[in-house]
Amino acid sequence: MERELIKIIHPIGQGAFISERHDNFNVVYDCGVDWPNRNSKYVYQLVKNSFAKGATIDILFISHFDYDHISKIPILQTNFRIKKVVMPFISSENRFLLSELYKGMGVTQDIQSIIDSPQDFFSESQIIEVQPFENNEEETQAPTIQIDDIKTPFITSGTKLRIDFWEYIPFNLDHLSRSKQFLSLLKAEGIDPKKLSKHFVYTEQLRKKLKRLYEKVKGDINQNSMVIYSGPINPNISALKYYDLKQSISLFPRYRRTLKNRISSVYTGDSSMNDYDLKNIFGSNWKKVIMFQIPHHGDIKSVDIKQLSKDSYICPINFGSYNTYGHPSNNVLAELGKNDQYIKLVTEDPSSILMIKILYETK
């Protein structure tokens, strides 16, 4: 049976918004934009019009809870039906800290609710939390579950979530470091986390202090991110057809030899490649990958080029043109180019969209 897949890296700016459409099965990975662009009418319309009115999003993956990755989820929630939400497990303590941080910054209640009460925010969706990944030297032997058969609210990292012809494999990486770092910074500032919600009046001075702490830890806090593998199950690769819908991007003939049976993707959020080995966590699936999202908007501290040196990949980097973080790093771009990677810069410019159509047959 011939299948159609469309992968889209949406031009949302300094944030992230990725979708996959398998025939009539829709998947989203993150949906947010940074704080300075929170009121952008362009971003609002982009998200609202990303699917047909009233469409179903079968799975929403949330890589982590930074503002620029979740801030536009309420638009998805308002305009579409979200069946399942797969997110990193977050301890009650860490959930509380993040919620209070956002409250102090003035983040709206709906965004806070995604963190502190996801069951209420996604009241008509099934919530599935992914336990932190315990790294080891062996290929992960996690269970395989049909996505519609999941009954438990928790799954282990590396679990293969399957539909009839496709699978998603999430890994919740380095979860615990986030809580410990932020907790220590709060205590250093003389803030008692246990008293924040019940005994502290949020003055403008506290808002500024919490915002300053958030900016201070931003480089490291993003190391906690759920990385997702997305790939086919037993496709008839001999019938594979691969198309790029944007004519200005020339994948052929240069990349014809690299495609082979590779139509899988890895989405990385704001993870740090220094904290994991792609070949270790994805095992034999890694050789099937053609698209690799460069993590953390191309941040120089988050990218390990050596892990991509054995083959060529389509490497989207999503960032805002006027961001103040130096994203993407020119050194990252130079190293990717030196290693013969196909770099696609996706910004807030609508023409920077990366949209790829893949036709393949399943057995």
What sections of the chain are H helices per DSSP?
A: 41-48, 67-70, 73-79, 92-105, 109-116, 118-121, 175-188, 196-199, 204-221, 256-259, 278-282, 330-338
Distance CA 129, CA 64 (A): 11
pLDDT, mean of residues 219-241 = 75
Q: Given the DSSP bridges, would you call strands 144-146 and 160-162 parallel, antiparallel or unpaired? A: parallel
Residue-wise pLDDT tens digits, 164-179: 889 999 999 864 455 5
Residue with tokens 């993150």: 30
Distance CA 182, CA 161 (A): 32
Say yes or no to pLDDT of 185 above 90: no
Q: Is residue 27 within 8 Å of residue 57, measured between CB atoms?
A: yes
In 3-state terms, the chain is what percent helix, strand and coil (to 5)? 35, 30, 35
- Tokens of residue 249, six digits: 């991007």
Residue-wise pLDDT tens digits, 212-227: 666 665 554 444 689 9
Residue-wise pLDDT tens digits, 80-94: 999 999 999 887 767
Residue 125: its pLDDT value, please? 97
Residue 24 — very low, low, confident or very high, per pLDDT cuts 50/70/90?
confident
Distance CA 69, CA 33 (A): 6
* φ, ψ of residue 252 in degrees (nearest 5): -115, 145
Residue 207: its pLDDT value, please? 61
Q: Given the DSSP bridges, would you call strands 15-22 and 25-33 parallel, antiparallel or unpaired? A: antiparallel
41 against 66, higher pLDDT = 41
Residue with tokens 């929403």: 60
Q: How far apart are the two ends of the chain, measured CA to CA in Å?
A: 7
pLDDT, mean of residues 12-17 = 97
Three-state secondary structure call for residue 302: coil
272 against 129, higher pLDDT = 129
* φ, ψ of residue 164 in degrees (nearest 5): -60, -30
In the chain, the percentage of residues whose pLDDT exceeds 90 is 53
pLDDT, mean of residues 131-136 = 77
Q: Class assignment of domain 2-362?
A: alpha beta
Residue 241: its pLDDT value, please? 73
In the chain, the percentage of residues whose pLDDT exceeds 70 is 79
- Please state, rounded to an integer, the average pLDDT across all residues of the chain: 84
Domain-wise residue ranges, the chain: 2-362
Residue 244: its pLDDT value, please? 65
Which of 133-142, 278-287, 311-320 shows the lowest per-residue confidence on average (mean pLDDT)?
133-142
Distance CA 202, CA 123 (A): 29
Of 72, 95, 100, give the one whose Cα is nearest residue 207. 100
Question: Does the predicted TM-score (pTM) go above 0.85?
Answer: yes
Cβ burial of 41 (10 Å; 0-12, 13-18, 19+) is exposed
Residue-wise pLDDT tens digits, 288-336: 999 999 999 999 989 999 999 888 899 999 999 999 999 999 999 999 9
